[in-house]
């Protein structure tokens, strides 16, 4: 696991986007197409804005995203589909080849199967992800399943995860935060060729320390990034403040 620390969130996000864009360009040069995974949340604002401005051939890029709440309509302000459409897809100069949105409004097991079949033939060149306050990756809360063979599955969200969503302002109160979500699994994330993990803010510092300096354990899902051959954490100084 590589660590890069920046003075500001803006510099962090721009560097993460630039490094990810270079990997995308390399994949396009190699195969003529590329496949990405995108995360959401407040931690990704600066990175996604910079990535949308990057000089890459979006019509040859297929995109997946990490998670979506069960029974959440795309019209809801906290919908991750809405977030990515408004903050990323609508900002691109040209539309991507495909953007495979997660739809949690219908039969979620059927949706997990549909997404699994879509991602199966797509080698992921870059996964742009973050780390939660409880150390989660996507909505894989602790203790996370490191062994599942399913690319997507339905999970119960723990209280720490739900409190983060309310604390970031996506919901007015904790009781409004859904208790279930569809998430991409950790093995599917780790199958990505390159992982760009963007983590700002002091509230993430404890999770960062445990993920970087602690043992690899399902109790700190992000610690599994230590096993990836090309994973880089992009941190601002507050997020890195507890590192040795």
Q: Per-residue confidence at 117, pLDDT binned at 50, 70, 90? A: very high
Cα gap 79→99, rounded to integer Å: 15
Mean pLDDT for 2-20 is: 98
- Residues 204-223 pLDDT 10s: 999 999 999 999 999 999 99
pLDDT at 82: 96
Q: What is the pLDDT of residue 93?
A: 97
Across the chain, mean pLDDT equals: 97
Domain 2-236: give its CATH architecture: 3-Layer(aba) Sandwich (3.40)
Structure confidence by residue, pLDDT tens digits, 43-53: 999 999 999 99
CB contact at 8 A, 196 and 233: no
**pLDDT tens column, 130-179:** 999 999 999 999 999 999 999 999 999 999 999 999 999 999 999 999 99
Calculate helix-pair angle for 45-52, 9-31, nearest 10 degrees: 40
pLDDT attached to residue 241: 98
- From CA 34, how far away is CA 26, in angstroms rounded? 9
pLDDT for 16 equals 98
Q: Determine the pLDDT at residue 59.
A: 98
- Global pTM? 0.96
Nearest to 33 by CA among 117, 120, 126, 152: 126
Task: Quote the percentage of the chain above a pLDDT of 70.
Answer: 100
Rounded to an integer, what distance in angstroms lies between the CA atom of residue 37 and that of residue 100? 10
pLDDT digits (tens, 9 = 90+) for 15-56: 999 999 999 999 999 999 999 999 999 999 999 999 999 999
Which residue reads 């990997």 in tokens?
A: 23
Other C-beta atoms lying within 10 Å of the C-beta of residue 1: 17
Residue-level pLDDT at 45:
96
**Per-residue model confidence (pLDDT) at position 5:** 98
**Distance, CA of 50 to CA of 127 (rounded, Å):** 15
* Nearest C-alpha neighbor of 74 from the set 58, 53, 89, 94: 89
For 74-108, the pLDDT digits (tens) are: 999 999 999 999 999 999 999 999 999 999 999 99
- Residues 10, 193, 236, CA angle at the centre, nearest 5°? 20
């Amino acid at each position: 696991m590589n660590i890069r620390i920046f003075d500001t969130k803006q510099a962090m996000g721009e560097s993460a986007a630039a490094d990810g864009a270079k990997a995308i360009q390399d994949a396009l040069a190699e195969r003529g197409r590329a496949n990405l995974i995108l995360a959401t949340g407040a931690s990704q604002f600066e990175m996604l804005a910079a990535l949308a401005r990057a000089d890459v051939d979006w019509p040859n890029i297929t995109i997946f995203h990490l998670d979506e709440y069960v029974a959440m309509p795309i019209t809801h302000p906290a919908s991750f589909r809405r977030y990515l459409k408004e903050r990323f897809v609508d900002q691109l100069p040209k539309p991507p080849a495909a953007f495979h949105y997660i739809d949690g409004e219908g039969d979620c097991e059927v949706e997990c199967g549909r997404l699994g079949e879509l991602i199966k033939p797509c080698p992921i060149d870059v996964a742009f992800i973050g780390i939660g306050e409880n150390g989660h990756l996507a909505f894989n809360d602790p203790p996370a399943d490191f062994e599942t063979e399913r690319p997507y599955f339905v999970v119960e969200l723990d209280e720490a995860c739900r409190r983060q969503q309310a604390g970031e302002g996506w919901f007015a109160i904790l009781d409004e935060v859904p208790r279930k979500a569809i998430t991409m699994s950790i093995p599917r994330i780790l199958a990505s060729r390159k992982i760009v993990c963007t983590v700002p803010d002091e509230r993430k510092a404890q999770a960062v320390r445990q993920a970087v300096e602690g043992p690899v354990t399902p109790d700190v899902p992000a610690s599994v990034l230590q096993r990836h051959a090309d994973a880089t954490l992009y941190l601002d100084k507050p997020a890195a403040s507890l590192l040795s």
